[in-house]
Chains A and B, each alone.
Chain A
Amino acid sequence: MDRYADMVRRLCLIHLKNQADSEDVFQTVFMKYVLSSAVFENEEHEKAWFIRVTINACRDLIRSFFRSRTVPLEELIDLPAEESGTREVLGAVLELPEKYRDVVYLHYFEGYTALEIGNLTKKNVNTVYSLLTRSKKLLREKLGGDEDA
């Protein structure tokens, strides 16, 4: 669990705006993993499985009628007071339209290429490029600074 717990938690964070829903999806993903009969060829394959299942579980919950209310970012994650920069960056990511958030996380934090993100999220690679370009522009407007430094 330790290997993928943080990644699943981060994916939950960028999709779901309350603690209860995040916990629900977090537990669902690991429950599915335990019950799954999938055979993983390697660690990358296993990681891709976790990403796909988490994103799908989040989307299912978002569509669900029983989704809980949203809460402010401060209630969502327990960040130290001095981490105001972190909070600002996360806030900017969460303010992006939902379709950009996976792409931003997978590219900037997990280091996936546009082609790999396309395979993971079942999106056309050109669509991923467009999403990355637009999200960079939006983030730059909000956070300032240069592009990939």
Chain B
Amino acid sequence: MRNRLQKAFAGVHAEAALKERTLERIYAPAKPRKRARPLIWAAACLVLMACIGSGLFFIPVSAIGIEINPALRLKINRFDIVIGVEALNKDGRRIIEDTNLMFSEYSAAIDALLADSKMQAYFEQGKDMEIYVECDDEQRCTRMLERVEGCVGSEGNVTCHAGNGSGHGHSAGKQSGEHCRHHRHRGGSEE
């Protein structure tokens, strides 16, 4: 069997043409590798991710309403960024004309509103401010309410409360569901 195997394998040779093509490949000048296809795939993935990302970015998942006399509503996305500012009355329109709140983080937007001189004028008149957080996700609601309360700090008569968007006079959309679950006065206990 050994002899037969040796004879059989000895009959197999690397063909001259194969050796020639191999030498040609070895000594051929290096060509830059074509990477067009991976690049196309990478670009397509980027476009897809951008579409999905921007889609998610511009979907509001919660809202913060602010009422003193001006009434405003900030639409917030899942990344806690303000993606819409809505004036709910004439005074509200005056406030948002002069203050750019779009694409800022919601706590920064509330800080900016509270620091606004026109808003300060209402505080000086001794008016009460109401801030409400609307959200379907209870955990998010609680977290946002805590941050909003943190923003309010030692401002005048401010009431903060949160719920799933139902039952508030000015809230647009999300009209179904239970009434506000959390209702806190600044520094007070949960009702």
Contacts and interface: CB of A to CB of B under 8 A. Distances in A.
A13 interface: yes
Interface string B1-26: 11111111111111100110111011
Given A10-B12, A77-B12, A89 B7 contact: yes
Interface in A37-91: 77-79, 83, 85-86, 89-90
Interface stretch (A114-122, A123-131, A135-143): A135-143
A9 B12 contact: yes
A112 interface: no
B21 A86 contact: no
Given A10-B12, A108-B6, A109-B9, A140 B22 contact: no
A10 B9 contact: yes
Given A1-B19, A30-B26, A31-B26, A8 B14 contact: yes
A78 B13 CA distance: 9
Interface in B8-52: 8-15, 18-19, 21-23, 25-26
A29 to B, nearest CB: 9
B14 A85 contact: no
A26 B1 CA distance: 28
Interface residues of A, number: 36
B61 to A, nearest CB: 42
A27 B25 contact: yes
A108 B12 contact: no
Interface in B82-114: none
B1 A149 contact: yes
B3 A86 contact: no
A46 B68 CA distance: 87
Contacts of A105: 9
A145 B1 contact: yes
B1 A5 contact: no
Contacts of A149: 1-3
A13 B12 contact: yes
A6 interface: yes
Given A31-B22, A86-B8, 4 more contacts: A6-B14, A9-B18, A27-B21, A148-B1
Interface of B: 1-15, 18-19, 21-23, 25-26
Interface of A: 1-2, 5-6, 8-10, 13, 23, 26-27, 30-31, 34, 77-79, 83, 85-86, 89-90, 93, 104-105, 108-109, 136, 139-140, 143, 145-149
